[in-house]
């Protein structure tokens, strides 16, 4: 995908966040939900996901270890391993390799973990460990072409800059196949037009469109091109998903590395617990993930007995979300709205999530309860 023109950016609604920031400045800012205060794991209230791009300060934060405050005078981006021309670039040198802007949804692999039954260890994310930003940086393909991939290169391992809290704790390294690295991955130093914030990986993070957040390594210090994926814990043991569905609480016979996020939609408005008037109401949300663009979003107010079709924005580029809205004639009483999305490959957001031992990739129907008065 090539760089965006101004028209593209306008079409994508880049200006929306600024407008809404102004609006929000007049009222009170939403607060983030603390899943862990040390290091900070902070969830975005889903009702704040109303814009094409999620404001940086409301964007969910996931940290394996604390953020390192990296001295850019000392920092070098290292390219090592199976390349013809290993490199150690300053940020300015890296920025001269190329520049691009790329919208993409970032969703934590564990978003929704708290909703699985039985419960699963790990940060207890509910619905809001997800957001979309316009990421500015350099295409990883440009970096790899500049360094020259050797024929035996098969994987790219991201070298993180955060420090495990003890010597026996493994570093948070993740590898992606070279094919994905060359396809659409960006090394980003900008987020929604601003310098990448420290909580989001300054000075540099990986942007891996369509894939879960565990690949989007923050505080990058380099990449290692290799014949094999990283041998460490977070590649060989962590972030695995059963190859076949299992019973909740069960043990999988075989697991695979998780990569793409499955088809999913969320109800952004009304907010959970909202009090609404009877009659015409607009239900809004986002839909993303899956193989190919979202082709349908449906809403039900009778626990999936019947579904009404929502209007969805046209698809733009892979790995972005599509906003949708649904015209609802609300009847009085306590109402539960549910939504489900379908992608172009025909995958449908399921009623029941695919339980797995680490609580990854939750994508059951989203639901929001609200009170409709006379």
Q: Are 59 and 278 in contact (CB under 8 A)?
A: no
69 is a site residue for another protein (CB under 8 A)? yes
**Buried/exposed code over 159-177 (b: 16+ C-beta within 10 A; e: otherwise):** bbbbeeeeeeeebbbbbbe
**Subset of residues 183 to 202 that bind another protein, contact rule: CB under 8 A:** 197-199
124 is a site residue for another protein (CB under 8 A)? yes
**DSSP symbol at 340:** E
Kindly tell me which residue out of 5, 37, 92, 334 binds another protein, with binding defined by CB under 8 A.
37
148 is a site residue for another protein (CB under 8 A)? no
CA triplet 304, 108, 31: central angle to 5 degrees?
A: 85
Give the residue among 245, 205, 246, 367 at the shortest CA–CA distance from 298: 367
Q: Which is nearer to another protein, 176 or 263 (CB)?
A: 176
Residue 265, Cβ density class (10 Å: 0-12 exposed, 13-18 middle, ≥19 buried) = buried
DSSP annotation string for 298-327: EEESSTTSS-EEPEEPPP-STT--EEEEEE
Kindly tell me which residue out of 116, 135, 172, 239 binds another protein, with binding defined by CB under 8 A.
172
Kindly tell me which residue out of 17, 110, 161, 201 binds another protein, with binding defined by CB under 8 A.
161
Q: Which is nearer to another protein, 69 or 374 (CB)?
A: 69
Kindly tell me which residue out of 11, 88, 150, 163 binds another protein, with binding defined by CB under 8 A.
163
Q: How far is the CB of 132 from another protein (least distance, A)?
A: 17
Q: How far is the CB of 34 from another protein (least distance, A)?
A: 4
Kindly tell me which residue out of 10, 11, 15, 29 binds another protein, with binding defined by CB under 8 A.
29
70 is a site residue for another protein (CB under 8 A)? yes
Kindly tell me which residue out of 58, 226, 263, 266 binds another protein, with binding defined by CB under 8 A.
58
Q: What sign results for the dihedral spanned by CA atoms 125, 188, 177, 163?
A: negative
**Subset of residues 311 to 340 that bind another protein, contact rule: CB under 8 A:** none
Say how far apart CA 141 and CA 222 lie, in whole Å: 14
Say how far apart CA 170 and CA 9 lie, in whole Å: 40
82-90, 101-109, 115-123, 312-320 -> range binding another protein (CB under 8 A): 115-123
Stretch (H or E) spanning 11: helix 6-12
255 is a site residue for another protein (CB under 8 A)? no
**Subset of residues 220 to 249 that bind another protein, contact rule: CB under 8 A:** 221-222
Residue with tokens 């007995």: 305
Kindly tell me which residue out of 27, 118, 314, 333 binds another protein, with binding defined by CB under 8 A.
118
66 is a site residue for another protein (CB under 8 A)? yes
Kindly tell me which residue out of 160, 210, 290, 293 binds another protein, with binding defined by CB under 8 A.
160
Say how far apart CA 223 and CA 147 lie, in whole Å: 11
Catalog residues that contact another protein under the rule CB under 8 A. 29, 31-43, 57-58, 61, 65-71, 74, 78, 114, 118-124, 159-173, 197-199, 221-222
């Amino acid at each position: 995908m090539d760089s965006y023109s101004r028209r593209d950016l306008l079409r994508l609604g880049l200006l929306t966040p600024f407008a809404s920031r102004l609006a929000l400045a007049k009222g009170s800012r939403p607060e983030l939900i603390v899943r862990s205060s040390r290091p900070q794991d902070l969830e975005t209230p889903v009702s704040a996901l109303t814009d094409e791009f999620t404001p940086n300060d409301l964007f969910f934060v996931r940290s394996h270890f604390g953020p390192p405050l990296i001295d850019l005078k000392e920092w070098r981006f290292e390219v090592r391993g199976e390349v013809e021309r290993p490199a150690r670039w300053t940020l300015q040198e890296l920025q001269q390799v190329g520049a691009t802007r790329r919208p993409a949804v970032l969703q934590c692999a564990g978003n929704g973990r708290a909703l699985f039954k039985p419960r699963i260890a790990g940060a207890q994310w509910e619905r809001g460990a997800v957001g979309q930003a316009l990421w500015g940086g350099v295409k990883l393909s440009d970096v790899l072409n500049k360094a020259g991939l050797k024929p035996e290169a098969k994987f790219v391992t991201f070298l993180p800059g955060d420090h495990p809290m003890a010597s026996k704790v493994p570093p948070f390294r993740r590898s992606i196949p070279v094919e994905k690295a060359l396809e659409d991955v960006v090394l980003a130093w900008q987020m929604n037009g601003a310098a990448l914030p420290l909580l989001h990986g300054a000075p540099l993070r990986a942007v891996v469109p369509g894939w879960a957040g565990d690949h989007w390594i923050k505080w990058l210090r380099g990449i290692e091109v290799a014949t094999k994926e990283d041998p460490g814990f977070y590649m060989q043991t962590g972030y695995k998903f059963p190859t076949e569905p299992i019973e909740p609480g069960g043990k999988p016979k075989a697991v695979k590395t998780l990569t793409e996020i499955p088809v999913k939609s969320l109800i952004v408005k009304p907010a959970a617990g909202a009090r609404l008037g009877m009659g015409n109401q607009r239900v809004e949300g986002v839909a993303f993930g899956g193989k190919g663009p979202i082709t349908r979003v449906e809403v039900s107010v009778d626990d999936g007995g019947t579904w009404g079709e929502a209007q969805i924005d046209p698809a733009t580029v892979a790995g972005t979300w599509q906003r949708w809205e649904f015209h609802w004639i609300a009847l009085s009483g306590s109402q539960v709205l549910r939504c489900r999305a379908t992608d172009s490959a025909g995958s449908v957001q399921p009623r029941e999530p695919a339980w797995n031992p680490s609580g990854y990739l939750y994508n059951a129907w989203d639901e929001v309860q609200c009170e409709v008065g006379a």
